Amino acid sequence: MRMLEFFRSSAVRVALVFVFVTTVATTAVFGLVYFQIGEANEARNRLILETEAAKSVNRPVNELKTAFEVRLTNDLRRIDYAALFDANHKFMFGNIAALPAIPVDGKSHFVAATRVPGSDNRLEPAIFVARQRPDGTVMLLGRSLIETLAFGRIVKRALVAGLAPMLLLALAIGAYFARRSSRRLTTIHDTMARIMKGDTDLRLPIGSGRDPIDKISRDVNLMLDEIVRLLVQLKGVGDNIAHDLRSPLSVVHAQLERGLESSDDEQLRTVVKQALAHIDKAMLTVAALLRLADVEYGPKSRNFQPIDLSAICADLFEFYEPLAESKSIRMTLETRSPVQIQGDGDLMREAVSNLIGNAIKFTPANGAVSISVMTEDGLPVVQVRDSGIGVEPGERDKIFQRYYRTSSGHRVPGSGLGLSIAAAIANLHELDLRFTDNNPGAVFEMVGRRR
C-alpha cells in the first residue's frame, strides 16, 4: 500500500516529468548538433564546388581531362564526381555517365539519389554543379554527402547509446528526490495526525535547509505554539472563573438554605438580598475576566488609528472630577497636546479609567490625585499620581497579577483585575505600565517602548 501511494504521489510525477524533460532536451541537443554540422558541411561543399567550376571553366579540354584523372585517382574515399559532356549532353569522360537533371547554371544543386561510380545498385545523395564552357561543352563537378550521412548515423548511435544510461540516471535521481520528499511529507502527515489526536506537544520536523516545506513547517509550528498558548490561557480563564464562582456560590447556597429553614419572612428577605449581592459580585468578576481575556487573547491586529492621549485624559478628568470632589480629593490635570499614538481609543480610556479609579478609591479624604500626559525622549507618557495608602515594598512586584489584593487594600471593594486589564491594554499598545512610590501614595505610568 505504501509503495502504491509512493507511485501516486506528486513527487513521483515531478520526477517523471524531470526524466521526460531531460530526454527531450538531450535529444534536441543531439539533433541540433547534427543539423548544424550537416548544414555547415553541405554549405562548405557547395562553396568549394562552385569555386572550382568557376576556375576550371576556361581550361582546355586536354588539361581538364588530366585534372579530372588526377582528381579521381586521389579520391580514395570515392566521394568526388567529375565529368565532361558535349553540347548535346553526351558523355565525353569522367566517372559519371549521365548528366543529372539539374540546371546548367554554375550553381550547386542537391540530388537525392545518385548512382555510386563502380557500383550498379548503390545510390547516395550528392551535390552537383553543372557549368557550360565557352566551347559549348558542359562541365560537371560533384561531391557525395555519404560522409554527412555517416556522421548522422554516428550521432544517432551516440544518442541511443547515451540515452539509456542517462534515462536510468535521471530516473535514479528523480526516484531519490521523490522518495526523500515523500518521506518528509509522510512524516509531516503522521505528525499532524498525532497532533490532531491530542498530542499537542509535537511539532513538525524542520530540516537544515530553507526550502518551501521547511518554511511551511516553521509557520505551522508557530501556529501550533499560538494555538497551544491560547488553549492554555483559555483553560486558565475557565479555571479562574470557576475559582471565583466557587466561593460566592457556596456562600449563596448556604445562605439560601438557612433562609429556607427560617419561617421569618424578614430574615428570608435579608438572606435573599445578601445572596443577590454575592451573585452581583460574581458576575462583575466574570465580566472582568472575560474582558481581560478579550484584551489579552483577542486579535492582535486591531483596527488601530491615531488617538490623542491628552484628549482621552481630559475627558476622563471631567468624568471623575465630581467623584473626587465628593470624597474631598483634589484632582488636577496637566497635558501637552497633542500626544498621539496608534491605538484603540475605547481600550485606552478603559486602561486610564482603571488607574484613575484606583487612585481615587485608595486615596483618603483631603488627598490629591493628578493626571499628566507628556512626551519624554519622543515617547508618550501617561502618569496617574495619588497620595493614597500606597503599596508595601514586598508587594510591588505582585500588584499586576490577577486577583492580587494588597494587605492594605483588602477591605476596599474590587475584583483584583483592574491593574491586570490596564497592563494588558498597555501591552497591546506597546506601552509599559510601571509603578513607583509617591511617598505617600503611588505613581502609575504608561510609557511607550523604544522600537
pLDDT tens by residue, 258-299: 777 766 777 777 777 777 877 776 776 666 666 666 666 665
Q: Which residue has the higher pLDDT, 325 or 410?
A: 325
- Rounded to an integer, the average pLDDT of 344-369 is 89
159 has pLDDT over 80 = no
302 has pLDDT over 70 = no
φ/ψ of 430, rounded to 5, equals 60, 45
- Rounded to an integer, the average pLDDT of 16-37 is 77
Q: How confident is the model at residue 56 (pLDDT cuts 50, 70, 90)?
A: confident
Report the pLDDT value the prediction gives residue 293, as an integer from 0 to 100.
65
97 has pLDDT over 50 = yes
Contact between residue 53 and residue 141 where contact means Cβ atoms under 8 Å apart: yes
Percent of the chain clearing pLDDT 90 (strictly above): 17
Q: How confident is the model at residue 401 (pLDDT cuts 50, 70, 90)?
A: low
Rounded-to-integer distance, Cα 30 and Cα 273, Å:
99
Report the pLDDT value the prediction gives residue 12, as an integer from 0 to 100.
65
Q: Within 10 Å of residue 198's Cβ, how many Cβ atoms?
A: 7
Q: How confident is the model at residue 32 (pLDDT cuts 50, 70, 90)?
A: confident
Report the pLDDT value the prediction gives residue 6, as an integer from 0 to 100.
53
Q: How confident is the model at residue 71 (pLDDT cuts 50, 70, 90)?
A: confident
Report the pLDDT value the prediction gives residue 7, as an integer from 0 to 100.
56
C-alpha closest to that of 333 among 378, 380, 368: 368
Cell of 94: 569522367
Rounded-to-integer distance, Cα 367 and Cα 375, Å:
27
135 has pLDDT over 80 = yes
Where are the strands (E) in 30-87, listed by range? 80-85
Q: How confident is the model at residue 16 (pLDDT cuts 50, 70, 90)?
A: confident
Rounded-to-integer distance, Cα 296 and Cα 293, Å:
5
pLDDT in tens, 167-221: 777 777 777 777 777 777 778 888 888 888 878 788 888 877 677 777 888 888 8
Q: Which residue has the higher pLDDT, 70 or 236?
A: 70
410 has pLDDT over 50 = no
C-alpha closest to that of 93 among 102, 101, 103, 83: 83
Q: Which domains does the chain have, with CATH numbers?
A: 13-150 (3.30.450.160), 212-297 (1.10.287), 305-448 (3.30.565.10)
423 has pLDDT over 90 = no
Place of cell 419561617: 263
Query: Mean pLDDT across the chain, nearest whole number?
Result: 80
Report the pLDDT value the prediction gives residue 1, as an integer from 0 to 100.
40
380 has pLDDT over 50 = yes
